[in-house]
Amino acid sequence: MNPYQEFAERAFWKLAVDGKRAAEIDDLWRPKFHIDEHTSIVTAGSCFAQHISKALRSAKYNWLDLEPCAFLPAGDREAFGYGVFSFRTGNIYTAAMLLQWLKWALEKTEPPDELWQRDGRFIDPFRPAIEPDGFESGHELIELRKQTLAAVRKAVEDAELWVFTLGLTEAWQNIRHGYWYSMCPGTVAGEFDPRQHRFHNFTHAEVTRDLQEIVALIRAIRPGAKFLFTVSPVPLTATASGQHVMVATEYSKSVLRAAAGEVVLSDDGADYFSSYEIITSHPYRGAFFNDNMRTVTPDGVAFVMGNFFSALGPAKPVAADESKSLEYADDPQCEDALLAAFRPT
């Protein structure tokens, strides 16, 4: 006798993958803890995480919208960053950025006073895409950021489960003060100055440390909070690493996957959902990518979320008019996609 004789079919490539069509490869995730429609859930992360928010909402799970908007028509709210994540931070691509938002919200550190300008309007360096035309004044920007920080604090207090999608390891930092930007200064707005701004590519140890600090900060206020980490399957739009963008993507995703895995291995209240593997693993032959081999097709997103909900148990019935509303875009709102505009002509 040896341990392998006791393992289930899912542990063996020949039984779990070989000879199966893509749709037949199943049992990819077994949740470590119970999640149901009563679990209070917040979502944050990269652009792929927007799909998770929408799916949870449509499936009538207890997804927390902690910064709702009643003054804009429903069709305009998403363009202004409302209802995309549980709070109006816009996309959070790195663990360091989520940690930074939490420290500001919990008053561990003070938010910087740096503001960007574009065409006479004001842009928030830490969520540059939430106002398509920018803010009317710096005062308006700061006051609305305070509302978001209050929503993040509320999330820490109320959420039983945090779903965080890791997107990138590449980031830009203010050299003097140490804070992180959502985008490189001088792209969406602002001015780039090599004396003030530096590029950094996070290591496995750094991402792991940041994730562990995120967990500790939240549990200090909400003991027993649980975490579900995912990795975005969407490749980098552009890289500042000096590597080929495809090689840089593999580094980034490998680091994020390994860091999430290390945290999950040592924490019974943390789990990992395999959205990255479902989209990118070679048995799926790239079928879930659009022709650009970067953006994920609506069918791919639906397949991922189908795996997610099937692992949680029997599906709740959804009315026909509600199911029609669950439409996945080829390319959700992603600030990093704007970097394509700077490619050589």
pLDDT at residue number 341: 55
DSSP 255-290: HHHHHHHHHHHT-TTEEE--HHHHHHSGGGTTTTB-
Indicate the helix (H) or strand (E) that contains 126: none
22 falls in which pLDDT band (50, 70, 90)? confident
pLDDT at residue number 225: 98
Enumerate the domain spans of the chain: 39-326
Residue 228: pLDDT over 60 = yes
Residue 90: pLDDT over 50 = yes
pLDDT at residue number 317: 43
User: DSSP assignment, residue 63?
Assistant: B
pLDDT at residue number 39: 98
- Over the stretch 231-255, which tens digit does the pLDDT of each residue have? 999 999 999 999 999 999 999 999 9
Q: Which of 166-170, 291-295, 323-327, 336-340 has the lowest mean pLDDT?
A: 323-327
Place of tokens 């079928």: 287
Work out the average pLDDT over 86-103.
Answer: 97
How large a percentage of the chain has pLDDT more than 70?
91
Place of tokens 């004001």: 122
pLDDT at residue number 340: 59
What pTM did the predictor assign?
A: 0.92
Residue 326: pLDDT over 80 = no
338 falls in which pLDDT band (50, 70, 90)? low
User: What's CA 212's distance to the chain center, in Å?
Assistant: 17
Quote the crossing angle between the two packed helices 204-221 and 245-265, to the nearest 10°: 40
Work out the average pLDDT over 70-92.
Answer: 91
Mean pLDDT of the chain: 92
Closest CA to 100 of 108, 115, 223: 108
Q: Considering only CA atoms, give the Rg of the chain.
A: 20
Amino acid at 321: D
Residues 63, 266: Cα–Cα separation, whole Å = 26
Neighbours of 132 (CB within 10 A): 11
